[in-house]
Amino acid sequence: MELHQLRYFVAVAESGGFSKAAKRCFVAQPSLSQQIIKLESELGSKLFDRLGRSVVLTETGKALLPKARLILSETDNIKSGIADQVDSGAGTLTTGIIPTIAPYLLPGSLKRFSESFPQAKLVLNENLTETLIEGIVDLEIDVAIMSLPIENKLIASEALFEDLLMLALSPDHPLSEAGKIRVEDLKEIPFIALDEQQCLGEQVKNFCYEKQINPDIICRTWNLSTIQQLVSFGNGVSLVPEMLVKSDTTGLCAYRNIEDQAPARTVVAVWHKHRKPSKLARGFIQVIKEEYDYLLRPREIQ
């Protein structure tokens, strides 16, 4: 028994004939008649007595009619209910974000998202790129925020912004007062690096390789806050994302741009390529972009 068969049955019952019902349902009369015959065959009983050009319900037809109307009404309610839920922004969104972005964009983004979608439930997963990609491929994560490159054919991405990498150093480091800092200034000076299992650590490594510099790495760490602390005590320098710089109100570190061919990472939103981002996913992507813009704007105005 299929829904369209019930719709055809109700149309015939209410219009009193197959021809009128076919016009009402925008189908050819032979097709409608065939579906009614299939429905009668499944039920094992006739639904209509044919009286010339008109039809009347049999006892089986009379018994089925209120049930068919109820089923069709409930089906329409389900459709409209789902549409209302989507339009209202209700539902659950499972998101992911890498650790070198989460501390700087997530708090403000959560506030923006809850204001825009008060009926939504947001589930968060802060983790490494590889783990988040696995979650998306396994359909456990709807959308994630990370940085390029991403090498997986099942992943679709949308570039959100370019996050500049800046040189972090102690305020009394000689380079803090230099007129301009160039890539070559990073050669042979103590360097504190993020572990290469973090995508940012791998990106910094690749940047140094491309520029043919070999920094003297004296420490590897998993945490950008550890890098800040070590740099502030003069243990070395490091490359850190601009979103960290704009979030840092401690004054413990100095930050400088690299003038020639400054490094940057491309921050993207990713999802499974066979799944269209939902309204909630699009909303989350938008608040991430808005929060990054907001983060950069106040410092530029000051």
Rg of the Cα atoms in the chain: 31
What one-letter code names the amino acid at 277?
A: P
Task: With CA atoms as reference, report the closest residue to 36 among 72, 1, 62, 70.
Answer: 1
Domain boundary among 87, 102, 135: 87
Task: With CA atoms as reference, report the closest residue to 270 among 289, 288, 285.
Answer: 285
Residue-by-residue pLDDT tens, the chain, 302 positions:
888 999 999 999 999 899 899 998 888 999 999 999 999 999 999 999 988 778 899 999 999 999 998 888 888 777 655 655 555 567 889 999 999 899 999 999 999 999 999 989 999 999 998 999 999 998 899 999 999 888 888 999 999 999 988 888 888 887 777 778 787 777 778 888 877 777 776 777 777 767 667 777 778 888 888 888 888 888 888 888 999 999 888 888 888 888 767 788 899 999 998 888 988 999 999 999 999 999 887 544 33
Do 157 and 239 belong to one domain?
yes
Burial class (CB in 10 A: 0-12, 13-18, 19+), 175: middle
**DSSP sequence for 206-228:** HHHHHTT---EEEEEES-HHHHH
Do 27 and 147 belong to one domain?
no
Do 94 and 75 belong to one domain?
no
Number of domains comprising the chain:
2
Domain boundary among 61, 87, 113: 87
Q: In CATH, what number is assigned to the domain containing residue 17?
A: 1.10.10.10
Residue 74 · residue 119 · CB < 8 Å = no
Q: In CATH, what number is assigned to the domain containing residue 293?
A: 3.40.190.290
Distance CA 43, CA 204 (A): 70
Domain boundary among 87, 122, 137: 87
Domain that holds residue 27: 3-87
pTM of the model: 0.68
Residue 236 · residue 192 · CB < 8 Å = yes
